Structure 1
Amino acid sequence: MELSLVHPALKAFMCGSLSGTCSTLLFQPLDLLKTRLQTHPGSSRVGMVTVLLTVVRTEKLLGLWKGVSPSCVRTIPGVGVYFSSYYSLKQRCLGPRPPGPLEALLLGAGARCLAGTITLPLTLVKTRYESGRYNYSSVAGALRSVCVLEGPRALFSGLTATLLRDAPFSGLYLLFYTQTRRALPQEVACSPCAPLAGVCCGVLAGVLASLLTQPADVLKTLVQVRPHSSTAAAARRLYLEQGLSGFFRGGVPRCLRRTMIAAMAWTVYEHMMSHMGLKS
């Protein structure tokens, strides 16, 4: 099939899937460290370096990539759905003009709600793989096990916390990213350094969005690792056990990972879309 005959939304899907897959493979160890920190007994006294050394010592270096299979299975459709939804919504609502601050916030949040809901069962499996508490043999086997032992509804455990995390993150990220990109001087935006400038804008946007949504990420992890737990119950338990600081556990590796993944994904996506003759 000639690329010129492919629907623009499908092109956006392909660009998003490729960019997301590359970044997921590269930064999976940070996601694993984040999950282990958030689910470690007495986690308020354990740091990222300690968890890193423990994983390498007990599970070897490749142990840092535990959960990469469900991560990739989730990412290929998930990031693709996100970027194709974003592109379709933007073209339908705004046309060729760039989004304003509020429009960027709503576009990012809307696209992420759709993608996050569709891929939630795979997110659940990925989180459990990374926690080290479950010995699933495969992604398909994990999905079957959850359905049989906990019921089909359990596949969507943590939906509330996931949307409370992902929708604001994507909305805030897109808001910060688009506005910082627009603030770049014209000579920088049109220079050979434009991709690097785009990455820097992505890093700044990722740091800000990650910090603001970290509590929801902690709750999402706890709900998915502990079956039959609600978001409100997880929040109460976490506050009683660790105080307010518990809501920011795993913030450093998550901030690093989400920042670098988002920056890389958007940079690759925009570069590929421009080569296909489409404005992202």
Structure 2
Amino acid sequence: MIREDDPRFRITPFQQMASACTGALITSLFMTPLDVVKIRLQAQQKALLSNKCYLYCNGLMEHICPCGETGLVPRRVHFQGTMDAFYKITKLEGVSALWSGLSPTLVLALPCTVIYFVTYEQLRFRTKTFYNKMTATTDQPMWIPLISGASARTIAVTIVSPLELIRTKMQSKKLTYSEINTALKQVIKYEGYGGLFRGLGSTLLRDVPFSATYWTTFETAKKHITYPETEKNTFFFNFFCGSLAGSIAAFITLPFDVIKTHQQIELGEKEIYGDSKLKQKASNMQDIARNIYKNHGIKGMFTGLLPRIFKVAPACAIMIATFEYGKQFFQTYNTQKYKEKMQRHQEVVLMAKYA
């Protein structure tokens, strides 16, 4: 059996990047419709949404657009639930609306996904290696994937945050690159470089706990679930563990996701419309959470739970199963190359010996 941490066969960061890209592409194609429905149900809570700002997400990155300019939902539509949202979106906007923003998302989400997964793998491997040397064991305690997952998500989200601001401006209306450059200069002039990271706090509040919970659950499930050891690296087993981990992490962090959705909409309205009234509106996380609880109760903090679970569980399952399959593919490839290299070396030694 090939050891994953064997330095002779371990896959390179570039091979990890290729595995992550493949997973992100497949995940986005399959999971976009469910996240579009989830965001619609969450956004329905906001009265400001009726004739202004519409937020959707395909599982890798959120998008904000003004309804009037995109032609999305020309009048207020009330969704009774998940299936009703699927039906009404398809009927009023067409089937293609369920895959809204796929192209621009992939352009920016792929780098974020690559940074996230490669950083996690590198942090987990290096931390585990250091821990094993210090303790003379081969175990991986739960805190290693927890810290690695949280750290990797923090790094990835922070790096991509300025790109999300640019994307929001580009999607709000047609802008030339010179106009985007001018807009960014104005943000820096009046708000400093910190203005490029608007909304980062709420994003981290949602994504970091999710990543920490997800990776801890995933690695723990792989280790402790009773299953033949020779089949623990199969696509099916990784799919199951990824689905389980994603479901648990999605449930725990759903309130953060709801708050993030509301704050993202407010920030998008300010960027898109420059409404002076909106600029005076408080948009910190505590006020948003308090307002949601006041108007909708505890149930409001878990709006979109069903579509979020249905989306996140298979999305995490597909992403991690594809990623792990890619890792195994490259590990097998590296093993074969290593064997061929050793065989050629032995042939050279034998030829030199009998020459």
TM-score, length basis structure 2? 0.66
Q: 1:186 to 1:40 in 2, by over 3 A?
A: closer
Q: How big is the shift at 1:175?
A: 0.9
Contact 2:11 2:330 in 1 (8 A): no
- Structure 2 counterpart of 1:160: 201
Alpha-carbon displacement from aligned partner over 1:24-63 (angstroms, at most 9, x marks no partner): 1211111111111111147997422222222112210001
- Structure 2 counterpart of 1:183: 224
Letter in 1 for 2:124: K
- Structure 2 counterpart of 1:78: 112
- Structure 2 counterpart of 1:222: 262
Comparing 148-157 and 82-91, the one that deviates more: 148-157
Letter in 2 for 1:202: G
Distance in structure 1 (CA, Å) of the matches to 2:169 and 2:38: 12
Q: 1:128 to 1:256 in 2, by over 3 A?
A: farther
Contact 2:238 2:324 in 1 (8 A): no
Contact 1:165 1:213 in 2 (8 A): yes
Are positions 1:22 and 2:26 aligned together? yes
Distance in structure 2 (CA, Å) of the matches to 1:167 and 1:225: 20
Letter in 2 for 1:120: S
Comparing 113-122 and 168-177, the one that deviates more: 113-122
Letter in 2 for 1:220: K
Contact 1:207 1:259 in 2 (8 A): yes
Comparing 234-243 and 97-106, the one that deviates more: 97-106
Comparing 225-234 and 118-127, the one that deviates more: 118-127
- Structure 2 counterpart of 1:51: 85
- Structure 1 counterpart of 2:122: 88
Letter in 1 for 2:322: V
Letter in 2 for 1:245: K
User: Structure 2: which 5+ residue stretches go unaligned?
Assistant: 1-7, 48-77, 133-137, 268-278, 335-355
Letter in 2 for 1:27: M
Distance in structure 1 (CA, Å) of the matches to 2:307 and 2:196: 26
Distance in structure 1 (CA, Å) of the matches to 2:146 and 2:178: 37
Alpha-carbon displacement from aligned partner over 1:192-223 (angstroms, at most 9, x marks no partner): 99321221111111111100000001111111
Q: How big is the shift at 1:272?
A: 1.1
- Structure 2 counterpart of 1:108: 149
Distance in structure 2 (CA, Å) of the matches to 1:141 and 1:212: 43
- Structure 2 counterpart of 1:195: 235
Contact 1:32 1:67 in 2 (8 A): no
Contact 1:157 1:223 in 2 (8 A): no
Contact 1:222 1:234 in 2 (8 A): yes
Are positions 1:240 and 2:294 aligned together? yes
Q: 1:231 to 1:23 in 2, by over 3 A?
A: same
Letter in 1 for 2:198: S
Q: How big is the shift at 1:11?
A: 2.0
Tell me the secondary structure at the aligned position of residue 248 of structure 1: coil
Q: 1:238 to 1:78 in 2, by over 3 A?
A: same
Contact 1:127 1:224 in 2 (8 A): no
Alpha-carbon displacement from aligned partner over 1:79-107 (angstroms, at most 9, x marks no partner): 10011101211232112856321211111
Letter in 2 for 1:231: M
Distance in structure 1 (CA, Å) of the matches to 2:307 and 2:325: 27
Distance in structure 1 (CA, Å) of the matches to 2:311 and 2:99: 13
TM-score, length basis structure 1? 0.82
Distance in structure 1 (CA, Å) of the matches to 2:32 and 2:99: 6
Contact 2:235 2:324 in 1 (8 A): no
Distance in structure 2 (CA, Å) of the matches to 1:141 and 1:201: 47
Q: How big is the shift at 1:127?
A: 8.6
Q: 1:109 to 1:208 in 2, by over 3 A?
A: same
User: Structure 1: which 5+ residue stretches go unaligned?
Assistant: none
Contact 1:69 1:139 in 2 (8 A): no
- Structure 1 counterpart of 2:103: 69
Contact 2:235 2:322 in 1 (8 A): no
Distance in structure 2 (CA, Å) of the matches to 1:66 and 1:142: 25
Larger Rg: 2
Q: 1:193 to 1:104 in 2, by over 3 A?
A: closer
- Structure 2 counterpart of 1:249: 303
322, 326, 329: which one pairs with 1:268?
Answer: 322
Q: 1:30 to 1:154 in 2, by over 3 A?
A: farther
Contact 2:231 2:237 in 1 (8 A): no
